[in-house]
Amino acid sequence: MSKLKRSILYWILLSPVVVMALFPFVVMFVTALKPSSEMLSPTWWPSEPTWRNFVDMWNETGFGPALLNSLFVSLGTTLLVIVISIPAAYALSRYRFAARGAFRQFLLISQMLSPIVLVIGLFRLLIEAGGFLNYLTSTYLGWTTNFQFIDSLTGLVFVYIGFNLAFAVWMLQSYFSTIPRDLEEAAWIEGASPFKTLVKVFLPLAVPAIVVTAIFTFIFAWNEYPLALSMLRKQDVYTLPIQVVNQVAGRYTVEWNYVMAAAFVATIPIAVMFMWLQRYLMRGLALGAVK
């Protein structure tokens, strides 16, 4: 069978999966284009596509500030998780120390805890952390500060780091174990320090694994709702999931065209990131399969 025929056959076999994956996005897009008078009509395509729904949604629902808040939280969480987890995963993969196996098991067990189970404890922890920092600065530095991690995007970033760090370390250390030690030892023989070896030799080989971990971390922070709803109570610090849900919850009249427009636009950053980094994603998944 020729390559062209095989490709056509594969696309035919995969077409039901493609339709199922794209169908929700098509429904969101079509609904976002409908005028309010046709929102509950059984027709699929609107008689007059209303592109202004996207503009009105942006202006009336506070979508812009929520988008910036989500970008800040997601990018900040991803960057800090990667920076912290790389040396931790490297040490876990390359060095032997007491209770190493117990620590690995702890990382795995921590992934079984649902965020909603810990939300009350995390809420109290953030309150106490802000008060403790205010006490330290006023007592030892003589400064009057107002550290507050509730209703703060920075506090939410710290919470997300806590939930993603164990996952990132576990993922990266399994990838790092597939990289031959001979490469590092050769760099040491040439006089490179362990830190320089990590930066110049090890990390370029681990780029696919780092990108895969960053993608999963970003998606978690971008889509997470229960923790954000519990930690953020002010309109100006809402993230996208809270802002979109608020267009539905507690309302007598729901503007579904605005809701679908907001949901559709909220998926664009994730889609762009996947298209941009898909080659690293496939390489990273292949590395995990080899191990």
Residue 22 burial class via C-beta count within 10 angstroms: exposed 0-12, middle 13-18, buried 19 and up: exposed
Query: Does the residue 17 lie in any domain?
Result: no
Query: Does the residue 142 lie in any domain?
Result: yes
pTM: predicted TM-score of the whole model, two decimal places: 0.84
Query: Does the residue 131 lie in any domain?
Result: yes
Q: Write down the pLDDT at residue 288.
A: 45
**Averaged pLDDT for residues 4-15:** 84
| Per-residue pLDDT tens over the stretch 193-215 | 778 887 887 788 888 888 888 98
Query: Does the residue 284 lie in any domain?
Result: yes
Q: Domains in the chain: how many in total?
A: 1
Q: Which residues contact 25 (CB under 8 A, 6 or more apart)?
A: 264, 267
Query: Does the residue 70 lie in any domain?
Result: yes
The Cα 207–Cα 144 span in angstroms is: 44
Task: Give the pLDDT band (50/70/90) at residue 290.
Answer: very low
On whether the CB atoms of residues 30 and 44 are closer than 8 A, the answer is yes
| Per-residue pLDDT tens over the stretch 74-86 | 999 999 999 999 9
Query: Does the residue 6 lie in any domain?
Result: no
Identify the CATH number of the domain in which residue 138 sits: 1.10.3720.10
**Two tokens, residue 32:** 């976002």
Q: Write down the pLDDT at residue 1.
A: 60
Q: Residue 86 belongs to what domain range?
A: 30-290
Q: At residue 90, does pLDDT exceed 70? A: yes
Query: Does the residue 13 lie in any domain?
Result: no
